[in-house]
Amino acid sequence: MKNRIRAAAIVLLAASVAAPVFAQSAGEATYKAKCAMCHGPDGAAATPVGKMMKVPSFKDPASKAASDAAYIAITKNGKGKMPAYNGKLTDAQIREVVSYIRTLQ
């Protein structure tokens, strides 16, 4: 009986350590669906579309220095070849994406 309990405890411990589950934030999900094609999964803009359109990396010093308000305005109104997402994303979704972009920097 003691061995069964010990074996069960080891299996439960191994399962909890071996397969951690991380919840995806709403901003991350929206970024992956709407932004990653051009900006890349890591924000470096090293995708074929990002390179072709000369999308700046979120890791560049100028991008890091940009305010959240600037990112929100660009996302809402578009800039250069980037389309406007006003009406396509809610204000809350845009703020969540900007917060997620900060984690990539």
Q: Which residue has 């994303």 as its token pair?
A: 89
For residue 2, being part of any structural domain is answered with: no
pLDDT for the residue numbered 18: 45
For residue 78, being part of any structural domain is answered with: yes
Tokens of 98: 């900007």
For residue 33, being part of any structural domain is answered with: yes
Q: Please list the pLDDT of the chain residue by residue as tens digits (105 residues).
A: 655 555 444 544 444 444 445 668 999 999 999 999 999 999 999 999 999 999 999 999 999 999 999 999 999 999 999 999 999 999 999 999 999 999 999
AA identity, residue 20: P
For residue 15, being part of any structural domain is answered with: no
Q: What element of type H or E holds 29?
A: helix 26-34
For residue 92, being part of any structural domain is answered with: yes
pLDDT for the residue numbered 21: 52
CATH code, 78: 1.10.760.10
**What's the structural domain count of the chain?**
1
pLDDT for the residue numbered 24: 82
For residue 17, being part of any structural domain is answered with: no
For residue 87, being part of any structural domain is answered with: yes
Which of 40, 64, 60 has its CA nearest to residue 50?
40
Domain residue limits at 28: 24-104
For residue 16, being part of any structural domain is answered with: no
